[in-house]
Each structure stands twice: as C-alpha cells, then as structure tokens.
Structure 1
Amino acid sequence: MALGLFRVCLVVVTAIINHPLLFPRENATVPENEEEIIRQMQAHQEKLQLEQLRLEEEVARLAAEKEALERVAEEGQQQNESRAAWDLWSTLCMILFLVIEVWRQDHQDGPSPECLGADEDELPGLEGAPLRGLTLPNKATLEHFYERCIRGATADAARTREFVEGFVDDLLEALRSLCSRDSDMEVEDFIGVDSMYENWQVNKPLLCNLFVPFMPPEPYHFHPELWCSSRSVPLDRQGYGQIKVVRADEDTLSCICGKTKLGEDMLCLLHGRNNVAQPSSEAGDPLCAQDSPYLDTMRVMKWFQTALTRAWHRIAHKYEFDLAFGQLDTPGSLKIRFRSGKFMPFNLIPVIQCDDSDLYFVSHLPRESCPGTSASSTDWLLSFAVYERHFLRMTSKALPEGACHLSCLQIASFLLSKQSCLTGPSGLSNYHLKTALLHLLLARRPADWKAGQLDARLHELLRFLEKSLLEKKLHHFFIGNRKVPEAMGLPEAMRRAEPLNLFRPFVLQRSLYRKTVDSFYEMLKNAPALISEYSLHIPSDHSSLPPKAVIL
C-alpha cells in the first residue's frame, strides 16, 4: 500500500516540475517573427530546387556526351573492322595476282631459252614464230647481202689489228720507261677484246678495244671486293665491285707479330716495333678516293691520260701522224690522224685483274658497248669480255665449217647501227645482241648453225630479242648461269650468283623502254628494204658469187 502511494506521489511531483508555466526552461524561446522565418525557409527551398534543376541538367548533359562518345567509338571500331577487312582482301588479291603471274611465266609462256639445254625441242615460242613487221628476204638475197656488205666491209680487220697492236706496244713500252718502279703504277701487256677480236666487227671505222692491266707500286696491292660477297648491295649495283688498296707491310694476317705479343727486346723485321698495333693508313694511298681506301675511277682516268700523253711525246718523232684523245670522259679513247685526213680510232682501257681469273674490273667502257653506268667513283664494272672471247672460240671448234652464228650477229649489228643513224641511239646495244647470241649458242645443237640456215637463225635471234624486250628480261650470260661449261674456268662465285638482268633499266625508265621498243620494231620494218637496197641485185647463179666483193 505504501509502495503504491509513493508511486502516485512521485508521478504528481514529476508533472509539477515539468510543467512549463511553473518551471520555464532557460533556452525555450518563442520566435518573435515567425513569418520572416517561414519566408526565409521558402526562399531557401526555392534555391535548393534551382540547384537541383541545375544538377539534373548537368547530369543529363554528361549522359548525352558519354552517349555521343560511345557512339563515335562504336563507329570508329566499325570503320577499323571494315578497313582491316579491306586490307586483308587487297593483300589476298595481290598474292593471287602474283601467283597467277608466276604461273603464267613458268607454264604458259614456257621457260626462257637462256635457261634451256641444247635440245631443239627446248625452244618453245621461238621456232617459226612470226615477228611483227619483219619479212626477211629469201636465202639468196640474204647471203648476197652478207657477201657484199658484211664480209667485204671487214676485209681490212686483220691489217687494222696488226697496225694498232704494233703502235700500242711501242706506246706502252715508252710509258713503262717513264714510270718509276717505286712510285708509279706498273702497266702490263694489253689484251684484245670485243668484236674486232671475235671476228664480227661491222661498223666503220673499225675499232680495236684493248684492255691494259695495271698494278700498284710496292708495297701496295689491290684487294677486289665483288658485289656477290654481300647481300646488302642494291640491285642496280649488281655487276660492280670495289678495289681496296692495301699496304703489304700493314697486312698482319699472315705475320706472327699480329698474333703474338712480342717482348721489349724483340722486333718484327717486316712491320717494325711501332707498326704492329697501328691502324691502317689506306685512305692516303695512291689513286684512292678522298678519305677512302678504295680506288677512284676518276683519279685512275686522269693518271692514265697523263701517262699516255707523256709516252706519246716521247715517241712522237718516230711517226708521221698525230695522236689525240677521242672522248675526254673515257680514259684511253685515242684517235690516230694521218696526213691524208683519214683517222683510225682505238680504245686503251685500264683494267684490274680479279684475283687469278680472266675477270677484269673496268673503270670506264666505250659508250656504245657499256651495258651500265657507274654512279659512284669507287664502283668498278666487272667485265667478262675475255671469257666471252674464249667461249666463242671454244664454240666455233664444235660448230660445222662456215657456221652462220657470227653472220647472224653481224647482220643484226648492221641493222641496229643503221637504225641508230635514223632515229638515234636507244637502250639496245651490240652487247645485248651478243648476249642473245651466246644464249642461243648454248641452247642450240651445233648442227643447227650450218651456213644454209642463216635466215632461220637470224629470224630466231631477232625473235629472241623481241621476247626479251617484251618481258624486260635478258639475263647476263655468265652471271648466275650454271649451264656454262666448266671448261671455261669461270669462278664458282659467278656461277652461283643471282642472275643479272641486263634489261632491268627498262623497268625503271619507261620512256627509254618505249623508245627502245619503237626503235626495235622500226628496225624490223626497215630491214627488208635495207637489205635489198644494199644487195643491189640478185645474181642468177648464187654459186658464181665472187669470193671477194667490192666494198660499197
């Protein structure tokens, strides 16, 4: 009971204490201006609503930009996919075209005659194929033309060679007498090359080309570097090489002092104490290019022209003619002028022998026989002229008596020279004609070159040239041709080298190619009329032709 009463009293006391009128709180104040507070709250609410709208607009703008970026990325990805598909399709088409072209060259057109053997059946596309614009005269007219215009024109070749060789012997001997063994180049005996020594010279005046090998003075020696020894050489540099000038006393490869450390009290009698570890001074060697150990063609040309001039002044009193340079950009282009007004040109060409072979590096070649032009003064053209002469001589022994192979080359050269007089020189030269003949000699049987088959073989030679021009491909006869007989003694590096295309300039120079093709077909068109005009008449009995005809 007492407990219940106590609880009631406690509730009453608590209610009295908490009544706001009896005991007011200190912090419980009633705002005096309730309307002002409500107005501020409404303004703040409006401000918050405006901020919320601004934020919503910002979020919407960001969402739109994100959507646009996603759309652009998607379109770029689609474009990349389509571009990749197009590139893949283009690559596949290119590969397909290349495969078709290779198949066409290897199967449809048949193998090139220069890669064939000696079987007649291995000459598809040449036998009996018509040449555009060419109709050769009959056999009697062709043989009569050869007798009157070719054989008669070369009747003085032997006497010309004999006269030039005798004079050159005297000139080189005078040159040697003026040279110092210790400081000047050593000149060796000349070597006759090209058409005059291969018995197919046609054009007049008769021209002798003579190689003149030379060696450096002691203690120097030449170290040839072929292009085929390096795979980094560009295509247009194939067929060239460089000549490094090395001092013999700086070549430590074969000396023990370069492999063994000598003591302080030991001295190498070859190199001396201070030369063992010294760098080479090849750049200052004679006739080298500036800051280079390689032989310079221009310096060699100036040296050779100066030496020939001094030698001629030494012996000029012995002769009743004058000697002058024919072409100043060719080292030994000389011309003998007689008092009667006649002249006799010949070329002395300074060359360097490649090791112990019959290959020679040539600084400059005559313009009409040069298949390429050196772009650098340290590039030397590799000449196979001696091997070409040996091959023609070796082949002639296996051919029938009176074979027509040289007659074909002479007639083709005659037609080319007459066409050059009419329309000017083109990209086709006598060297290309000879290269084509060498390929046919290797592909044909000896019995196919009888004298009575002159018209057939001439037609085949011109057809071969036409096919080569249309394909822009005429391989060098010796470089990369493993069918060359081993008896020739050709270096193995030349046999295994990549084939060299002599018509490669036509791929790069379209104007030259078009001019050459037009000139070639015009030559074929003019050939029948030209042969008939120079033949004058057809004899009633071909067997009654005089053995020696008059030169026209």
Structure 2
Amino acid sequence: VAENLVDDLLSVLQERLAMSFFPVLQPAIGVGSAFEGWNRRVRNAVYCLLVPLKPPQGHTFLLELGTADHMLEKTYRIRVELKCTCMREELLENTLCFRHHPQEELRRNLAASLLGTLCTGSYLDVLKTAQWFKEQVRSAWRETPHLRRSIMKVLPSSRSCKLQLTNDSGRRLSIEMVFGVQQGKSDIFLSSHTTEDTFIPSTMWAESYAVAEVKFFRHIATQAPHDTFHLKCLQLCANMLVGTGISTYIMKTVAMHLLNTIPLANWSRTDRLMRVEDILRYLHSCLEDKRLNHFFCGNENMPEDFILPPDFQTAEPINLLQYLVEDPAAYAMAMREFDELQN
C-alpha cells in the first residue's frame, strides 16, 4: 500500500516538474526493516522509501567526499554544476544553455531552479531539498482527487518528508521519504537521512547502504528454501533489544554476516533456536571484542549481483562498534545489557 501510494504521488510530481529545472524524481525504493521483511513493529510500522534524485537538464551532480573522519558513516557534498546544452538548444525550441547564455537572460529561469532554490552556494542542500519536496507534496495532494481519499498530515522532519495518512475507517499509515543520489550505477546512495547523532551540515549527505541491504534480503529470499526462518530469527532477536542501547542495526548486521556464511538450508523452522543462539553468540563476541565489521564495506565475500563502487570490497572495514573502544562507560553498559538479555 505504501509503495503504491508513493508511486502515485511521485507520478503526479514528475508530471508537474517535467519542464522545470528542479531535481528529476526517480521511482521510490522501499528500504528498512518493513521492506526487508523483519519489521518488529507490524502495527505501528513506518514505511521508509528512498526517492532517488537526478540532475535536471543542463545540470550535473559531482560528489565530493567530506572530511569528517570522526564519523562512522562517510559524508559527501553534492556540487551542482551547469553543463553546456548548446547542441540541444539548436534542436529544441525554448531551451537555453545555462553556461553560455547571458546571465540576465537566464535570471528568471535560475530564480526557480535547482541552483537558485535548493543549493547553498553550489552544493545541494538537504534542508532546502526536504522543504521544497514537502511543499510539492502538499500542493499535489490538494490538487489530486484520488490522493485525497486519505487525510494527509506532514510531520516535522528536517532531512526527510514524513507523512501520516488516515483513511475513512481511521486506520493510520506512516511513511517517510528520504532523498538519495546514486553513486555511479552502484547500489550505494548518498542519502539525506543520517544515523549519526552529531550535527551534520545541511550540505552534507551521508553514504547509505539501505538499498543494498534490502537487495541482500531479497537475494536471500530467492536462494532460501520456502520454510526458511531467517527473518523470524532476526525479528525475535530485534525484539529482545527493546529497552537496551544496542541498536537493531547492529543486530541486523550480525544476522547478515551469518546469513552469508551459514548455509540457508540450516535456517529452517527446526533450526531456528540454534540460529538465534548463533546470532546472540556472535553479537556477544563482537561486543567483547568491541568490533563488528560493516557488512558491505571491506567484505570480499559478496554475492556477484551486487553493484558496489570500485575498491569498496577491498577497503578497510568500518567498525560499527568503534564507539565502545572510545567510551569505556558505553562498553560496560553494553556488556551489562547483553547479560540481562540472557537472564
């Protein structure tokens, strides 16, 4: 339901923005636990979808790696540059080359364009992009009859677009749309959403593996026997973390490592308790060692159908538990919480 609704909404926006110089909205990609199949909050699920952005005509996106070495996730700035479209101008009427036409001739176009509206300096701004998108959503919703079947409320969010929809029967649906720019043709995106608690400038976009992760779970689904219980195992383990400081992302990463090493035939209903024990044992070992390698970065044991940036698999692995190395109190708390899980 969430995917269909977002598809309908994006179709309206794509048609409205077709002749503009704003980002070109691509079909949304469902990401996160709700689309991976192990969401632990079925009734109150938040359906997260990534909306890829492509540069409009006459523009190009250049990705510049940030310098925040203290952060676990890489950040990038997206520089927006004008490119020559003189050849296109000769073929199409009412088309101006942003690079070679006099500035005053383009002023009206630029005032309502990507550089003039959504950038800070020459860099795509997350906050401005999110605000612009929310305004587009509100306008499209009001003017599209079939979307107005539900009452739509835009919830506060600075780096995404969160919607709460209520139908005639009072049932609510929560959707969050984040924005992404694809790294080349890979499964890795730069995302408006960040998992870091620290402040990130509005022109910084975080490297996201969410699309690759949902692709991994779909890959497993195609390879696994029909009675495989890997999702139930992960869901059970994630539920055990409620009330602790250990994130479900840590648990998911542990499960992904094990799914990539333990034969899928050994994740059946009869094996499920052993696999849960394996997950918890692996997690305990990682907590003790204060180290859990990121699943994609530096992992050379990846299925062939994944498209990753060059040198991604041979890069130095990212330690998702680095914070335990740097914070003895957090380490003591994590070990104490894990002990409580087993009691």
Per the shorter chain, which TM-score range? Answer: 0.7 to 0.9
Structure 1 residue runs of 4+, over 6 Å off?
Answer: none
Question: CA offsets, 1:355-394, max 9 Å, x none?
Answer: 11121111125xxxx3665622222111122222222222
In the other structure, the counterpart of 1:288 is: 119
In the other structure, the counterpart of 1:192 is: 30
* Amino acid aligned to 2:51: V
Deviation at 1:233, TM superposition (A): 5.4
More strand by share: 2
Matches within 5 A, 1:291-370: 292-315=121-144, 319-365=148-194, 370=195
Q: Is the 8 A contact 1:175 1:310 kept in 2?
A: no
Alpha-carbon spacing, 1:406–1:317, altered in 2? closer, same or farther (3 Å):
closer
TM-score under structure 1 normalisation?
A: 0.53
- Are 1:466 and 2:284 matched, yes or no? yes
Q: Is the 8 A contact 1:304 1:350 kept in 2?
A: no
SS at match of 1:377: coil
More helix by share: 1
In the other structure, the counterpart of 1:479 is: 297
SS at match of 1:313: helix
Question: CA offsets, 1:20-60, max 9 Å, x none?
Answer: xxxxxxxxxxxxxxxxxxxxxxxxxxxxxxxxxxxxxxxxx
In the other structure, the counterpart of 1:215 is: 54
Deviates more, 1:470-479 or 1:234-243: 234-243
In the other structure, the counterpart of 1:240 is: 75
Alpha-carbon spacing, 1:501–1:318, altered in 2? closer, same or farther (3 Å):
closer
Q: Is the 8 A contact 1:193 1:389 kept in 2?
A: yes
Deviation at 1:297, TM superposition (A): 1.6
Tell me the distance in 2 between the aligned counterparts of 1:397 and 1:502.
28
In the other structure, the counterpart of 1:109 is: none
In the other structure, the counterpart of 1:391 is: 216
Matches within 5 A, 1:427-442: 428-442=246-260
Higher relative contact order (CA 8 A, sep 6+): 1
Alpha-carbon spacing, 1:330–1:233, altered in 2? closer, same or farther (3 Å):
closer
SS at match of 2:134: helix
TM-score under structure 2 normalisation?
A: 0.83
Tell me the distance in 2 between the aligned counterparts of 1:510 and 1:341.
47
Alpha-carbon spacing, 1:388–1:333, altered in 2? closer, same or farther (3 Å):
same
**Considering only CA atoms, is the larger Rg found in Structure 1 or Structure 2?**
1
Cα RMSD for the two superposed structures = 3.0
Structure 2, gaps ≥5 residues long: 86-96, 104-113
Deviation at 1:195, TM superposition (A): 1.8
SS at match of 2:260: helix
Alpha-carbon spacing, 1:306–1:271, altered in 2? closer, same or farther (3 Å):
closer
Q: Is the 8 A contact 2:257 2:295 kept in 1?
A: yes
* Amino acid aligned to 2:53: F
Structure 1, gaps ≥5 residues long: 1-162, 251-268, 276-282, 526-552
Q: Is the 8 A contact 1:171 1:311 kept in 2?
A: yes
Q: Is the 8 A contact 1:211 1:349 kept in 2?
A: yes
In the other structure, the counterpart of 2:2 is: 164
Aligned length: 323
Matches within 5 A, 1:68-87: none
Alpha-carbon spacing, 1:170–1:431, altered in 2? closer, same or farther (3 Å):
same
